[in-house]
Amino acid sequence: MILFYLFLLINIQAIFAFILPTQHIMTSSNCNKQPLSPTRRTSSIAGNNNGSSDKKEKYNRVDLWKQRNQKLTTLTTSLELSSSSSNTIQEESKAIYTFGLLTDIQYAPVPDGFSYGGNPRYYQHAKVAAEHAAKHFEEEQVSCVVNLGDIVDGKCSDVDGCHLGHESVDDVLNALSSYTTGKILHTYGNHELYNLSRKDLGEKLSIPFVNEGNDELVGYYHHLLHNQKEDCNNKGLKFIVIDSYDICLLGRCETTSTKRQQAHEILSLNNPNYDSNTPGTENSPEGLEGVSRRFVGFNGAIDTVQLEWLDQSLQSAKEKGEQVIICSHQPIHPDSTWPTCLIWNYEEVLDIIRKYSDTVIASFSGHAHKGGYTRDEISGVHFRTFEAVLESPENIRTYAMVDLFEDRLVVRGEGDCVSDVYDLDHLNIESNAQI
Protein backbone atom coordinates (compact mmCIF):
# COMPACT_ATOMS: atom_id res chain seq x y z
CA MET A 1 0.00 0.00 0.00
CA ILE A 2 2.85 2.38 0.86
CA LEU A 3 4.48 1.66 -2.50
CA PHE A 4 1.17 2.40 -4.24
CA TYR A 5 0.86 5.86 -2.60
CA LEU A 6 4.50 6.61 -3.36
CA PHE A 7 3.92 5.72 -7.03
CA LEU A 8 0.78 7.90 -7.07
CA LEU A 9 2.62 10.88 -5.52
CA ILE A 10 5.44 10.69 -8.08
CA ASN A 11 2.99 10.65 -10.97
CA ILE A 12 0.99 13.58 -9.56
CA GLN A 13 4.21 15.61 -9.39
CA ALA A 14 5.03 14.73 -12.97
CA ILE A 15 1.55 15.74 -14.15
CA PHE A 16 1.72 19.13 -12.41
CA ALA A 17 5.23 19.75 -13.65
CA PHE A 18 3.98 19.22 -17.19
CA ILE A 19 0.77 21.28 -16.83
CA LEU A 20 2.31 24.26 -15.00
CA PRO A 21 4.91 25.94 -17.22
CA THR A 22 8.14 27.21 -15.69
CA GLN A 23 8.01 30.93 -15.00
CA HIS A 24 10.40 33.43 -16.49
CA ILE A 25 11.50 35.70 -13.66
CA MET A 26 12.34 38.43 -16.13
CA THR A 27 9.78 40.22 -18.31
CA SER A 28 6.63 38.52 -19.57
CA SER A 29 3.35 39.72 -21.01
CA ASN A 30 1.57 38.53 -17.87
CA CYS A 31 4.10 39.59 -15.25
CA ASN A 32 1.56 41.59 -13.27
CA LYS A 33 0.33 38.23 -11.94
CA GLN A 34 1.96 37.02 -8.75
CA PRO A 35 4.13 33.92 -9.22
CA LEU A 36 2.68 30.72 -7.77
CA SER A 37 5.85 29.51 -6.12
CA PRO A 38 8.56 32.14 -6.51
CA THR A 39 12.17 31.69 -5.52
CA ARG A 40 12.96 33.88 -2.52
CA ARG A 41 16.11 35.95 -2.25
CA THR A 42 17.85 35.16 1.01
CA SER A 43 21.34 36.25 -0.01
CA SER A 44 23.24 38.57 -2.31
CA ILE A 45 24.84 35.43 -3.73
CA ALA A 46 22.97 33.75 -6.56
CA GLY A 47 22.71 30.01 -6.24
CA ASN A 48 25.21 29.72 -3.38
CA ASN A 49 23.97 29.90 0.18
CA ASN A 50 26.27 27.29 1.66
CA GLY A 51 28.49 29.81 3.44
CA SER A 52 31.60 28.88 1.47
CA SER A 53 33.46 32.18 1.30
CA ASP A 54 35.86 31.03 -1.41
CA LYS A 55 32.96 30.46 -3.82
CA LYS A 56 30.99 33.60 -3.12
CA GLU A 57 30.59 36.18 -5.86
CA LYS A 58 29.38 39.71 -5.23
CA TYR A 59 26.94 40.99 -7.83
CA ASN A 60 27.87 44.65 -7.92
CA ARG A 61 27.77 45.25 -11.66
CA VAL A 62 24.90 45.35 -14.08
CA ASP A 63 26.21 42.55 -16.31
CA LEU A 64 26.52 40.24 -13.31
CA TRP A 65 23.04 41.32 -12.20
CA LYS A 66 21.74 40.06 -15.54
CA GLN A 67 23.63 36.79 -15.18
CA ARG A 68 22.11 36.36 -11.75
CA ASN A 69 18.59 36.66 -13.11
CA GLN A 70 19.30 34.32 -16.02
CA LYS A 71 20.06 31.63 -13.45
CA LEU A 72 16.65 32.23 -11.89
CA THR A 73 14.52 31.94 -15.03
CA THR A 74 13.40 28.39 -14.25
CA LEU A 75 11.48 27.89 -11.01
CA THR A 76 10.93 24.40 -9.62
CA THR A 77 7.43 23.64 -8.34
CA SER A 78 7.40 19.87 -7.82
CA LEU A 79 8.73 19.86 -4.25
CA GLU A 80 6.22 22.45 -3.14
CA LEU A 81 3.42 20.62 -4.92
CA SER A 82 4.24 17.44 -3.05
CA SER A 83 3.80 19.17 0.30
CA SER A 84 0.87 21.50 -0.49
CA SER A 85 -2.68 21.00 -1.72
CA SER A 86 -3.66 22.46 -5.09
CA ASN A 87 -6.09 24.83 -3.32
CA THR A 88 -3.25 26.26 -1.21
CA ILE A 89 -1.15 26.87 -4.30
CA GLN A 90 -3.93 28.50 -6.30
CA GLU A 91 -5.31 30.68 -3.49
CA GLU A 92 -2.43 32.93 -2.43
CA SER A 93 -2.97 34.94 0.73
CA LYS A 94 -3.81 38.59 0.20
CA ALA A 95 -1.04 41.14 0.58
CA ILE A 96 -1.07 43.42 3.61
CA TYR A 97 -0.06 46.34 1.39
CA THR A 98 0.38 46.84 -2.34
CA PHE A 99 2.04 49.92 -3.82
CA GLY A 100 3.19 51.02 -7.27
CA LEU A 101 6.73 52.02 -8.14
CA LEU A 102 8.53 53.64 -11.06
CA THR A 103 11.75 55.55 -11.58
CA ASP A 104 13.80 57.56 -14.07
CA ILE A 105 10.97 58.52 -16.39
CA GLN A 106 13.16 61.35 -17.72
CA TYR A 107 10.59 62.65 -20.17
CA ALA A 108 11.67 65.37 -22.58
CA PRO A 109 9.85 66.79 -25.65
CA VAL A 110 12.77 65.85 -27.91
CA PRO A 111 13.54 63.03 -30.38
CA ASP A 112 14.86 59.72 -29.07
CA GLY A 113 18.58 59.61 -28.40
CA PHE A 114 21.34 57.83 -26.55
CA SER A 115 23.10 58.03 -23.20
CA TYR A 116 26.82 58.80 -23.01
CA GLY A 117 27.34 55.05 -22.79
CA GLY A 118 25.36 54.41 -25.98
CA ASN A 119 22.12 53.11 -24.45
CA PRO A 120 18.97 54.10 -26.38
CA ARG A 121 16.67 56.56 -24.66
CA TYR A 122 13.00 56.99 -25.49
CA TYR A 123 12.21 60.43 -24.13
CA GLN A 124 8.64 60.90 -25.30
CA HIS A 125 7.53 57.30 -24.91
CA ALA A 126 8.55 57.55 -21.26
CA LYS A 127 5.58 59.82 -20.59
CA VAL A 128 3.25 57.38 -22.35
CA ALA A 129 4.64 54.56 -20.20
CA ALA A 130 4.14 56.63 -17.04
CA GLU A 131 0.52 57.29 -17.98
CA HIS A 132 -0.04 53.58 -18.60
CA ALA A 133 1.51 52.77 -15.21
CA ALA A 134 -0.71 55.29 -13.41
CA LYS A 135 -3.85 53.77 -14.94
CA HIS A 136 -2.69 50.31 -13.89
CA PHE A 137 -1.99 51.55 -10.35
CA GLU A 138 -5.49 53.00 -10.19
CA GLU A 139 -7.06 49.79 -11.53
CA GLU A 140 -5.35 47.79 -8.80
CA GLN A 141 -6.20 50.42 -6.17
CA VAL A 142 -2.67 50.37 -4.78
CA SER A 143 -2.18 52.12 -1.43
CA CYS A 144 0.37 54.60 -2.76
CA VAL A 145 2.88 55.10 -5.57
CA VAL A 146 6.61 55.63 -5.15
CA ASN A 147 8.50 57.70 -7.75
CA LEU A 148 12.24 57.31 -7.19
CA GLY A 149 13.25 60.44 -9.09
CA ASP A 150 14.33 61.94 -12.41
CA ILE A 151 10.79 62.62 -13.56
CA VAL A 152 12.13 64.70 -16.48
CA ASP A 153 15.42 64.79 -18.37
CA GLY A 154 18.08 67.49 -18.37
CA LYS A 155 17.38 68.06 -22.06
CA CYS A 156 14.21 69.92 -21.06
CA SER A 157 16.39 72.86 -20.06
CA ASP A 158 17.18 73.60 -23.70
CA VAL A 159 14.58 72.65 -26.31
CA ASP A 160 15.11 74.76 -29.42
CA GLY A 161 16.48 77.53 -27.24
CA CYS A 162 13.62 77.35 -24.74
CA HIS A 163 13.62 76.16 -21.14
CA LEU A 164 10.73 73.71 -20.85
CA GLY A 165 11.54 72.18 -17.48
CA HIS A 166 8.44 73.46 -15.69
CA GLU A 167 6.11 72.53 -18.52
CA SER A 168 7.66 69.07 -18.84
CA VAL A 169 7.25 68.30 -15.14
CA ASP A 170 3.61 69.40 -15.42
CA ASP A 171 3.16 67.12 -18.44
CA VAL A 172 4.43 64.08 -16.52
CA LEU A 173 2.34 64.91 -13.46
CA ASN A 174 -0.68 65.15 -15.73
CA ALA A 175 0.22 61.73 -17.15
CA LEU A 176 0.33 60.35 -13.61
CA SER A 177 -2.93 62.03 -12.60
CA SER A 178 -5.00 58.93 -13.45
CA TYR A 179 -3.87 57.54 -10.12
CA THR A 180 -6.08 59.04 -7.41
CA THR A 181 -6.49 56.25 -4.85
CA GLY A 182 -3.55 57.29 -2.69
CA LYS A 183 -0.54 59.55 -2.52
CA ILE A 184 2.41 59.66 -4.93
CA LEU A 185 5.62 59.82 -2.93
CA HIS A 186 8.22 61.70 -4.94
CA THR A 187 11.93 61.86 -4.43
CA TYR A 188 14.08 63.87 -6.80
CA GLY A 189 17.31 63.32 -8.69
CA ASN A 190 19.99 65.16 -10.60
CA HIS A 191 17.82 65.67 -13.68
CA GLU A 192 15.17 67.62 -11.78
CA LEU A 193 17.95 69.90 -10.56
CA TYR A 194 19.06 70.55 -14.14
CA ASN A 195 15.61 72.09 -14.67
CA LEU A 196 14.06 73.42 -11.47
CA SER A 197 15.00 74.91 -8.13
CA ARG A 198 14.32 72.94 -4.96
CA LYS A 199 11.63 75.46 -4.05
CA ASP A 200 9.81 74.80 -7.31
CA LEU A 201 10.26 71.06 -6.93
CA GLY A 202 8.73 71.22 -3.47
CA GLU A 203 5.66 72.98 -4.82
CA LYS A 204 5.19 70.75 -7.87
CA LEU A 205 6.03 67.37 -6.32
CA SER A 206 4.74 68.03 -2.79
CA ILE A 207 8.16 67.34 -1.30
CA PRO A 208 8.26 68.98 2.17
CA PHE A 209 11.70 70.55 1.91
CA VAL A 210 13.31 71.49 5.23
CA ASN A 211 15.15 74.80 5.43
CA GLU A 212 18.35 74.10 7.37
CA GLY A 213 19.27 77.78 7.37
CA ASN A 214 20.54 80.17 4.71
CA ASP A 215 17.91 78.75 2.30
CA GLU A 216 19.64 75.36 2.28
CA LEU A 217 16.59 73.25 1.36
CA VAL A 218 16.71 69.48 1.93
CA GLY A 219 13.87 67.14 0.91
CA TYR A 220 13.48 64.25 3.36
CA TYR A 221 10.24 62.96 4.90
CA HIS A 222 8.28 59.84 5.76
CA HIS A 223 4.84 58.45 5.00
CA LEU A 224 2.98 55.74 6.93
CA LEU A 225 0.51 53.22 5.55
CA HIS A 226 -1.80 51.92 8.25
CA ASN A 227 -2.65 48.23 8.34
CA GLN A 228 -6.31 47.52 7.53
CA LYS A 229 -6.18 43.74 8.03
CA GLU A 230 -7.67 42.63 11.33
CA ASP A 231 -5.93 39.25 11.30
CA CYS A 232 -2.41 40.68 10.95
CA ASN A 233 -0.01 41.99 13.58
CA ASN A 234 1.64 44.49 11.22
CA LYS A 235 1.77 47.93 12.87
CA GLY A 236 2.20 49.88 9.66
CA LEU A 237 4.50 50.26 6.67
CA LYS A 238 6.58 53.42 6.76
CA PHE A 239 8.31 54.87 3.69
CA ILE A 240 11.33 56.95 4.65
CA VAL A 241 12.32 59.16 1.73
CA ILE A 242 15.87 60.49 1.95
CA ASP A 243 17.50 63.27 -0.04
CA SER A 244 20.74 62.05 -1.59
CA TYR A 245 21.37 65.52 -3.09
CA ASP A 246 21.69 67.16 0.30
CA ILE A 247 25.40 67.93 -0.18
CA CYS A 248 26.00 68.49 -3.90
CA LEU A 249 26.96 71.03 -6.54
CA LEU A 250 23.59 70.96 -8.28
CA GLY A 251 21.13 73.73 -7.52
CA ARG A 252 23.20 75.19 -4.68
CA CYS A 253 24.29 78.82 -4.67
CA GLU A 254 27.95 79.13 -5.69
CA THR A 255 28.62 82.03 -3.31
CA THR A 256 26.50 81.36 -0.21
CA SER A 257 25.84 77.61 0.02
CA THR A 258 27.82 75.74 2.67
CA LYS A 259 26.58 72.46 1.23
CA ARG A 260 27.93 73.37 -2.19
CA GLN A 261 31.27 74.25 -0.64
CA GLN A 262 31.30 70.83 1.05
CA ALA A 263 30.60 69.17 -2.30
CA HIS A 264 33.40 71.17 -3.92
CA GLU A 265 35.84 70.01 -1.25
CA ILE A 266 34.76 66.36 -1.56
CA LEU A 267 35.23 66.36 -5.33
CA SER A 268 38.51 68.26 -5.15
CA LEU A 269 39.87 65.70 -2.70
CA ASN A 270 38.65 62.57 -4.49
CA ASN A 271 38.45 63.32 -8.22
CA PRO A 272 41.60 64.64 -9.96
CA ASN A 273 39.54 65.36 -13.10
CA TYR A 274 37.50 68.00 -11.31
CA ASP A 275 38.28 71.62 -12.12
CA SER A 276 35.73 74.07 -10.75
CA ASN A 277 36.63 76.51 -13.54
CA THR A 278 36.00 74.00 -16.33
CA PRO A 279 32.36 72.88 -16.71
CA GLY A 280 31.89 69.16 -17.29
CA THR A 281 35.03 67.99 -15.54
CA GLU A 282 33.02 67.26 -12.38
CA ASN A 283 31.21 64.42 -14.16
CA SER A 284 34.27 62.51 -15.34
CA PRO A 285 35.22 59.31 -13.44
CA GLU A 286 38.21 58.77 -15.76
CA GLY A 287 41.06 57.06 -13.93
CA LEU A 288 39.03 56.40 -10.78
CA GLU A 289 38.66 52.78 -9.71
CA GLY A 290 36.06 50.81 -7.76
CA VAL A 291 33.74 52.72 -5.47
CA SER A 292 35.93 55.82 -5.90
CA ARG A 293 34.11 56.29 -9.22
CA ARG A 294 31.15 57.63 -7.23
CA PHE A 295 32.89 60.97 -6.77
CA VAL A 296 31.29 62.73 -9.74
CA GLY A 297 29.14 65.84 -9.95
CA PHE A 298 25.85 64.13 -10.75
CA ASN A 299 25.94 62.46 -7.33
CA GLY A 300 25.77 63.83 -3.80
CA ALA A 301 25.93 63.06 -0.08
CA ILE A 302 23.75 63.19 3.03
CA ASP A 303 24.63 65.81 5.63
CA THR A 304 24.77 65.38 9.40
CA VAL A 305 21.31 66.82 10.16
CA GLN A 306 19.61 64.42 7.78
CA LEU A 307 21.65 61.45 9.03
CA GLU A 308 20.50 62.23 12.58
CA TRP A 309 16.90 62.51 11.35
CA LEU A 310 17.20 59.12 9.62
CA ASP A 311 18.52 57.51 12.80
CA GLN A 312 15.75 59.04 14.89
CA SER A 313 13.05 58.08 12.36
CA LEU A 314 14.20 54.47 12.33
CA GLN A 315 14.37 54.38 16.13
CA SER A 316 10.81 55.73 16.31
CA ALA A 317 9.59 53.14 13.78
CA LYS A 318 11.26 50.37 15.76
CA GLU A 319 9.63 51.46 19.01
CA LYS A 320 6.21 51.56 17.34
CA GLY A 321 6.64 48.18 15.64
CA GLU A 322 6.49 49.67 12.14
CA GLN A 323 8.27 48.17 9.17
CA VAL A 324 10.29 50.48 6.91
CA ILE A 325 11.20 50.81 3.25
CA ILE A 326 13.86 53.45 2.57
CA CYS A 327 13.56 55.32 -0.74
CA SER A 328 16.24 57.41 -2.43
CA HIS A 329 17.22 58.37 -5.94
CA GLN A 330 20.83 57.27 -5.54
CA PRO A 331 21.61 53.69 -4.47
CA ILE A 332 23.06 53.14 -1.00
CA HIS A 333 24.71 49.70 -1.20
CA PRO A 334 27.79 49.32 -3.46
CA ASP A 335 26.79 45.78 -4.46
CA SER A 336 23.41 46.93 -5.81
CA THR A 337 24.63 49.31 -8.52
CA TRP A 338 27.40 50.67 -10.69
CA PRO A 339 30.01 52.49 -8.55
CA THR A 340 29.39 55.72 -10.50
CA CYS A 341 25.86 55.95 -9.09
CA LEU A 342 26.53 55.57 -5.35
CA ILE A 343 25.86 58.16 -2.66
CA TRP A 344 29.22 59.72 -1.74
CA ASN A 345 28.96 58.85 1.97
CA TYR A 346 27.09 55.59 1.53
CA GLU A 347 29.06 54.00 4.39
CA GLU A 348 27.51 56.37 6.93
CA VAL A 349 24.00 55.63 5.66
CA LEU A 350 24.65 51.88 5.71
CA ASP A 351 25.90 52.06 9.29
CA ILE A 352 22.60 53.58 10.39
CA ILE A 353 20.46 51.11 8.45
CA ARG A 354 22.37 48.16 9.90
CA LYS A 355 21.45 49.28 13.42
CA TYR A 356 17.80 48.65 12.55
CA SER A 357 17.96 45.35 10.72
CA ASP A 358 14.82 44.19 12.58
CA THR A 359 12.88 47.19 11.24
CA VAL A 360 14.09 47.96 7.69
CA ILE A 361 12.70 45.65 5.03
CA ALA A 362 14.49 47.11 2.05
CA SER A 363 16.10 50.13 0.43
CA PHE A 364 14.76 51.08 -3.03
CA SER A 365 16.53 53.42 -5.45
CA GLY A 366 16.82 54.44 -9.10
CA HIS A 367 19.56 56.43 -10.90
CA ALA A 368 21.37 53.36 -12.31
CA HIS A 369 19.10 52.64 -15.24
CA LYS A 370 19.77 48.93 -15.72
CA GLY A 371 18.91 48.02 -12.14
CA GLY A 372 20.62 45.86 -9.56
CA TYR A 373 20.16 43.97 -6.30
CA THR A 374 21.99 42.69 -3.25
CA ARG A 375 21.12 41.52 0.22
CA ASP A 376 23.35 43.05 2.86
CA GLU A 377 25.29 40.28 4.56
CA ILE A 378 25.44 42.11 7.90
CA SER A 379 21.81 43.16 8.31
CA GLY A 380 19.83 41.02 5.87
CA VAL A 381 18.23 44.19 4.44
CA HIS A 382 17.42 44.02 0.72
CA PHE A 383 18.88 46.73 -1.53
CA ARG A 384 17.17 47.02 -4.92
CA THR A 385 17.92 49.44 -7.74
CA PHE A 386 14.99 49.61 -10.17
CA GLU A 387 15.09 49.72 -13.95
CA ALA A 388 14.40 53.02 -15.71
CA VAL A 389 11.21 53.82 -17.59
CA LEU A 390 13.31 55.89 -20.01
CA GLU A 391 15.29 53.07 -21.63
CA SER A 392 12.40 50.81 -22.66
CA PRO A 393 11.22 51.14 -26.29
CA GLU A 394 7.68 51.93 -27.43
CA ASN A 395 6.18 48.47 -27.00
CA ILE A 396 7.48 48.14 -23.41
CA ARG A 397 6.30 50.00 -20.30
CA THR A 398 8.54 49.54 -17.29
CA TYR A 399 7.32 49.84 -13.69
CA ALA A 400 6.41 47.59 -10.76
CA MET A 401 3.70 46.54 -8.36
CA VAL A 402 5.09 45.66 -4.94
CA ASP A 403 3.21 43.41 -2.49
CA LEU A 404 4.09 43.12 1.18
CA PHE A 405 3.09 39.88 2.90
CA GLU A 406 3.86 38.87 6.47
CA ASP A 407 6.88 36.80 5.41
CA ARG A 408 7.99 38.24 2.06
CA LEU A 409 8.09 41.20 -0.30
CA VAL A 410 7.06 40.49 -3.90
CA VAL A 411 8.07 42.71 -6.83
CA ARG A 412 5.79 42.17 -9.82
CA GLY A 413 7.78 43.68 -12.65
CA GLU A 414 6.20 45.11 -15.78
CA GLY A 415 8.12 45.68 -18.98
CA ASP A 416 11.87 45.57 -18.34
CA CYS A 417 11.47 45.62 -14.55
CA VAL A 418 12.77 42.39 -13.04
CA SER A 419 10.31 40.47 -10.84
CA ASP A 420 11.67 39.19 -7.56
CA VAL A 421 10.73 37.88 -4.10
CA TYR A 422 12.51 38.83 -0.89
CA ASP A 423 12.36 36.96 2.42
CA LEU A 424 11.72 38.98 5.57
CA ASP A 425 13.38 36.55 7.98
CA HIS A 426 15.82 39.25 9.17
CA LEU A 427 12.94 41.17 10.77
CA ASN A 428 12.54 38.42 13.38
CA ILE A 429 16.07 38.85 14.71
CA GLU A 430 16.80 41.50 17.33
CA SER A 431 19.19 44.08 15.89
CA ASN A 432 22.69 43.41 17.17
CA ALA A 433 24.83 44.15 14.13
CA GLN A 434 28.42 44.97 14.90
CA ILE A 435 29.16 48.24 13.14
DSSP secondary structure letters along 92-157: PPPPSEEEEEE----B-SS--EE-TTS-EE-TTHHHHHHHHHHHHHHHTT-SEEEE-S--B-GGGG
Residue 144 pLDDT exceeds 70: yes
Residue 41 pLDDT: 56
Segment 38-53 shows an average pLDDT of 37
- Alpha-carbon span 98 to 411, nearest angstrom: 10
Q: What is the pLDDT of residues 283-308, one digit of tens each?
A: 999 999 999 999 999 999 999 999 99
Q: What does the DSSP 8-state code read for residue 363?
A: E
Is the pLDDT at 93 greater than 80, yes or no?
no
Phi-psi category of residue 226: left, alpha or beta, with phi > 0 → left and psi -120 to 50 → alpha: beta
Measured CA to CA, the distance from residue 4 to residue 185 in angstroms comes to 58
Q: What is the pLDDT of residue 103?
A: 98
pLDDT of 234: 79
CA-based radius of gyration for the chain: 22
Give the integer Cα–Cα distance in Å for 88 and 157: 54
Residue 429: predicted pLDDT: 55
Please tell me the number of Cα atoms within 13 Å of 181 on its side-chain side.
16
The predicted pLDDT at position 31 comes to 32
Q: Supply the pLDDT for residue 371.
A: 97
Which of 9-13, 380-384, 385-389, 427-431 has the least mean pLDDT? 9-13
Using DSSP, state whether 244 is helix, strand or coil.
coil
Q: For residue 69, is pLDDT > 50?
A: no
Going by C-alpha positions, the residue among 142, 106, 141, 138 that lies closest to residue 125 is 106
Task: Give the pLDDT band of residue 117 (cuts 50, 70, 90).
Answer: confident
pLDDT, one tens digit per residue, over 183-197 is 999 999 999 999 999
pLDDT of residue 123: 98
What percentage of residues in the chain have a pLDDT greater than 90? 73
| CA–CA separation, 166 and 101 (whole Å) | 23
Please determine, for residue 48, whether its predicted confidence score (pLDDT) is greater than 60.
no
Strands (E), 343-407: 360-365, 372-375, 382-385, 399-404
Residue 74 has pLDDT above 70, yes or no: no
What pLDDT score does 73 carry?
Answer: 35
With bands split at pLDDT 50, 70 and 90, how would you rate the model's confidence at 428?
confident
pLDDT score recorded for residue 430: 53
Predicted TM-score (pTM) of this structure: 0.81
Can you tell me the distance from the alpha carbon of 323 to that of 315, in angstroms, rounded to the nearest whole number? 11
Mean pLDDT, to the nearest integer, of 151-179?
97
